[in-house]
């Protein structure tokens, strides 16, 4: 039997399972999935989990079941591509024939002193739960500083302001306008929403230091009861520590068919793989589909493609609380209720197909 090991059952890992199971896995291949969480987590909803507007159960989806799928619950501690071995905390190492690394990303603190120690995070389910608990235990009038107004910072600030009108939310962003990756029209729409909903936006900010319950913007101290970091991500530390060329987010550079240039048996998917596109669940799923194509061809003894057509991304949608939203679909800006309904619809479909 050959062992295909998948590290991480996030959007990339889950898509690979769904593409291979139940009918496309050759008789002589078993899959071992390793994750520190015993179910697939819907990371795109962590902003709502942290804000306390959805329950924990709503962001969990069971992993599929199959006689040749072995789900291993544990913490990956090392990836040894020389000996084709995966180290897992308090468990025997796993040996693989083919490996897919989809361990996602972590916060990047850009060297801001104290940021790793004194800010809360929504980059893993454990951290999002912890953030939920501190945010929701705050008394009225408490100050919440959210550092970084990209998609996740905006979604968290809006969800929290809608559910806790008594909080004083400050959203800090480096840019002249928030949501720098979106057209200015959309940024202004979202900024107006925040003005109407009493979220203070601090543009052109530069967070120089964080201490317990205090952040420094251009060295000016600002007292906060809770500070949440949404100002940057980088590849999982295990990937950053691997040999091989990486981009500025620590993501491994891969060939056009998604494996390491020096090892055709090690594939990288999702937030761990370098790409010209911004990291997203959609991108992870697109890469996963192509990796499955390569594996199926290799297992069949067919010639491998030199490359794939570009992955088609449908767009990106953000929420502003439960009723309004914004986004880009097929290069067109959309705002308001329609955007929010589309986002909810996509989540519903995802759960329907994976649940």
Ligand X SMILES: Cc1cc2nc3c(=O)[nH]c(=O)nc-3n(C[C@H](O)[C@H](O)[C@H](O)COP(=O)(O)OP(=O)(O)OC[C@H]3O[C@@H](n4cnc5c(N)ncnc54)[C@H](O)[C@@H]3O)c2cc1C
Binder of ligand X out of 5, 8, 98, 186 (CB under 6 A): 8
Q: How far is CA 226 from CA 7, 139, 322, in A?
A: 33, 11, 23
Strands 2-7, 98-101: pairing is: parallel
Of positions 20, 33, 41, 266, contacts ligand X by CB under 6 A: 41
**Closest among 311, 258, 319 to 51, alpha carbons compared:** 319
Residue nearer to ligand X on the CB measure, 98 or 155: 155
Nearer to ligand X, 122 or 227 (CB): 122
CB of 139 to ligand X, least distance (A): 25
Q: How many CA atoms does the CB half-sphere of 168 hold within 13 Å?
A: 9
The DSSP code for 242 is: S
- Shortest distance, CB of residue 218 to ligand X, whole angstroms? 27
Cβ closest to ligand X, residue 76 vs residue 201: 76
**CB of 184 or CB of 237, closer to ligand X:** 237
DSSP-derived secondary structure for 15-31:
HHHHHHTTTTS-TTEEE
Residue 296 has, within 13 A of its CA and on its CB side, a CA count of 14
From residue 121 to residue 160, the character string flagging contacts with ligand X as x (rule: CB under 6 A) and all else as - is -xx---------------------------xx--x-----
- Phi, psi torsion values for 128, nearest 5 degrees: -65, -35
Nearer to ligand X, 20 or 34 (CB): 34
Cβ of 238: how many Cβ atoms within 10 Å?
Answer: 18
Residue showing tokens 């501190």 = 134
In the complex, least distance from residue 310 CB atom to ligand X, rounded to whole angstroms: 16
- Residue 283 CB, shortest distance to ligand X, in Å, is 7
71-90 footprint of ligand X as x/- string (CB under 6 A): ----xx--------------
Report the nearest approach of ligand X to the CB of residue 141 (Å). Answer: 26
Spatial distance between the Cα atoms of 354 and 64, rounded to a whole number of angstroms:
8
- Residue 283: phi, psi to the nearest 5? -65, -45
Q: Which of 46, 120, 193, 194 binds ligand X (CB under 6 A)?
A: 46
Which of these segments, 63-71, 166-174, 186-194, 278-286, binds ligand X (CB under 6 A)? 278-286
If binding is defined by CB under 6 A, does position 25 make contact with ligand X?
Answer: no
Q: Choose among 27, 35, 36, 46: nearest CA to 9.
A: 35
User: Whole-number minimum distance, CB 265 to ligand X, in Å?
Assistant: 19
Q: Is 37 in the site for ligand X (CB under 6 A)?
A: yes
Closest separation between CB of residue 314 and ligand X, Å? 9
First-to-final CA distance of the chain: 29
Extract the tokens encoding 251.
């993501």
Q: Could you tell me if 157 and 146 are in contact, meaning their C-beta atoms sit under 8 angstroms apart?
A: yes
The footprint of ligand X (CB under 6 A) covers 8-13, 34-37, 41, 43-44, 46-47, 75-76, 102-104, 122-123, 151-152, 155, 236, 238, 270-271, 279-282, 284, 316-317
């Amino acid at each position: 039997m050959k062992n295909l090991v998948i590290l991480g059952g996030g959007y990339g890992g889950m898509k690979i399972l769904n593409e291979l199971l139940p009918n496309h896995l050759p008789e002589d291949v078993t899959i071992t999935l390793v994750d520190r969480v015993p179910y697939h987590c819907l990371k795109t909803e962590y902003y709502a989990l942290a804000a306390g507007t959805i329950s924990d159960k709503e962001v969990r989806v069971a992993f599929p079941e199959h006689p040749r799928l072995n789900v291993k619950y544990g913490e990956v501690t090392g990836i040894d591509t020389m000996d084709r071995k995966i180290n897992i905390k308090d468990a025997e190492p796993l040996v693989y024939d083919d490996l897919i690394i989809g361990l996602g990303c972590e916060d990047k603190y850009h060297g801001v002193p104290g940021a790793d120690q004194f800010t809360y995070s929504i980059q893993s389910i454990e951290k999002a739960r912890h953030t939920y608990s501190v945010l929701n235990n705050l008394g009225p009038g408490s100050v919440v500083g959210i550092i970084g107004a990209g998609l996740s910072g905006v979604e968290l600030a809006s969800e929290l302001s809608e559910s806790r009108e008594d909080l004083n939310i400050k959203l800090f962003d480096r840019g002249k306008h928030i949501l720098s990756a979106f057209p200015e029209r959309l940024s202004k729409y979202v900024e107006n929403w925040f003005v109407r909903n009493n979220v203070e936006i601090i543009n052109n900010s530069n967070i120089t230091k964080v201490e317990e319950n205090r952040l420094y913007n251009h060295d000016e101290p600002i007292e906060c009861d809770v500070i949440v970091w949404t100002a940057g991500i980088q590849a999982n530390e295990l990937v950053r520590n691997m040999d091989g060329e990486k981009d500025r987010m620590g993501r491994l550079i891969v060939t056009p068919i998604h494996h390491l240039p020096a090892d055709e048996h090690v594939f990288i998917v999702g937030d761990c793989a370098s790409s010209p596109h911004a990291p997203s669940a959609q991108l992870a799923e697109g890469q996963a589909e192509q990796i499955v194509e390569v594996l199926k061809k290799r297992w069949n003894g067919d010639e491998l493609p030199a490359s794939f057509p570009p992955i088609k991304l449908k767009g990106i949608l953000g929420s502003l609380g439960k009723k309004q939203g914004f986004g880009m679909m097929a290069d067109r800006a959309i705002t308001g209720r329609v955007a929010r309904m589309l986002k909810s619809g996509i989540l519903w479909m995802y759960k329907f197909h994976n649940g």
